[in-house]
Amino acid sequence: MNNKKKWNIKTATKIFHQPFFDLMFKAQKTHRRNFKPNYMQVSVLLSIKTGLCPEDCKYCSQSAKYNTGLSNEKLINLDKVINAAKKAKKTGATRFCMGAAWKNPKDRDMPLLESMIKHVKDLGLETCMTLGMLNDHQVNRLANAGLDFYNHNLDTSPEYYKNIVTTRSYNDRLVTIEKIRNSGIKVCSGGILGLGETIKDRISLLVQLSNLSKHPESVPINMLVKIKGTPMENNTKVSSFDFIRIIALSRIMMPNSFIRLSAGREYMNDQMQALCFMAGANSVFYGCKLLTTSNPSMDRDIRLFKKLNLNTKNISDIVNEKMSNQMYYNAAL
């Protein structure tokens, strides 16, 4: 990851527009050189503080600027987090991601956040948090508590960003990502497709991500989930093939990163998801809820993983022919 190639829009655009099967072949070859081809990393997501966010991200159900009908919730207590993490562990997830609708955490919240990290790690899960912008002191505290990953997305190109968020700048995001990188916490950073951006903006986002000081270990690619009440509620749907091409290009540009097929999977059929996996996506959020919106049910995902013979680290231990759906659900609940 350190001897990485420097990417520019011209070269990346040429690859993006290759004939579809040539692009898929190149992405699959890159994937097989760097990863086990039939392995899927699974993370479970939990919202630890919901709604009333002071930022104005035009796609988000949680911004206080839009009337989305969301029920807001203050920072939840430790027991709720531990219980959710135990359930996640039972279902075979290997990483537990905790998200808060904040511009930045307050110092008074840090002790609770640190306890959440410690307790979740004690269950044998990797930890990830996404809490907004961080100062140096906060990054160090999270690193010392043992946080494994921090999610902080660039979302779109630097050129298009001001059309999506006005309460912070692209540079603010880059600064926080660099702080995380320097602290030793692994970086999770990606974007969303469907914000009204052009293909060039999507490629420019990947150029930004691939030219960070080190590639993010994890790159979530979200498909916009249209939220009623936000300025993006009537956005045009992204073409499926353009979406798959962006996954393939992400794999080629960041060959060692886990590419996560993130929000929007609920609206993708099995064939679309399989093409995304073939293009190099090797990570998903698992469980019927993302932060505030829904995700495919676990049994739908298990059926899909079985059809594709995909292994997750633990799921193959609990999902086998002898286990009835009811037993599986009991384990998952």
Q: Which residues are annotated as a binding site?
A: 53, 57, 60, 97, 128, 188, 260
Tell which one of 23, 53, 205, 232 touches ligand SF4 (CB under 6 A): 53
Using CB under 6 A as the binding rule, whether residue 127 contacts ligand DTB is answered as no
Residue 276 lies near ligand SAM (rule: CB under 6 A): no
- Using rule CB under 6 A, residue 99 touches ligand DTB: yes
CA angle 197, 44, 267 (to 5 degrees): 45
In the window 228-267, what residues touch ligand SAM (CB under 6 A)? 263
Contact letters for ligand SAM, residues 175-204 (x by CB under 6 A): -----------------x------------
Name the DSSP letter for residue 297. Answer: -
Using CB under 6 A, which of 51, 220, 231, 280 touches ligand DTB?
A: 220
DSSP reduced 3-state for 89: helix
Dig out the tokens for 258 from the structure.
């886990």
Question: Which residue among 40, 164, 290, 319 contacts ligand DTB (CB under 6 A)?
Answer: 290
Candidates 23, 27, 45, 57; binder of ligand SF4 (CB under 6 A) is 57
**Rounded CA separation 218/205 (Å):** 15
Q: Which is nearer to ligand SAM, 12 or 225 (CB)?
A: 225
Residues annotated in the binding site for [4Fe-4S] cluster, as ranges?
53, 57, 60
Going from the C-alpha of 119 to that of each of 43, 80, 209, 234, the distances in angstroms are 17, 11, 31, 41
Alpha-carbon distance 251 to 26, whole Å? 9
Least separation in angstroms between CB 324 and ligand DTB:
30
Residues 6+ apart with CB under 8 A from 101: 47, 49, 50, 51, 52, 53, 62, 291
Q: How far is CA 227 from CA 174, 235, 264, 296, 323, in A?
A: 27, 10, 12, 17, 37
Active-site residue list: 53, 57, 60, 97, 128, 188, 260
Which of 43, 63, 273, 312 is the binder for ligand SF4 (CB under 6 A)?
63
- The Cα–Cα gap between 151 and 131 comes to 8
Neighbouring residues of 6: CB distance < 8 A, sequence distance ≥ 6: 211
Nearest to 99 by CA among 51, 155, 49: 49
Please tell me the distance from the alpha carbon of residue 45 to that of residue 287, in angstroms, as a whole number.
8
Size of the site for ligand DTB (CB under 6 A): 16
- Span 292-331, contacts to ligand SAM by CB under 6 A: none
Q: Which is nearer to ligand SAM, 85 or 192 (CB)?
A: 192
- Per CB under 6 A, residues contacting ligand DTB are 45, 61, 99, 130, 151, 153, 190, 220, 222, 225, 262-263, 290-293
- Per CB under 6 A, residues contacting ligand SF4 are 53, 55, 57, 60, 62-63, 101, 132
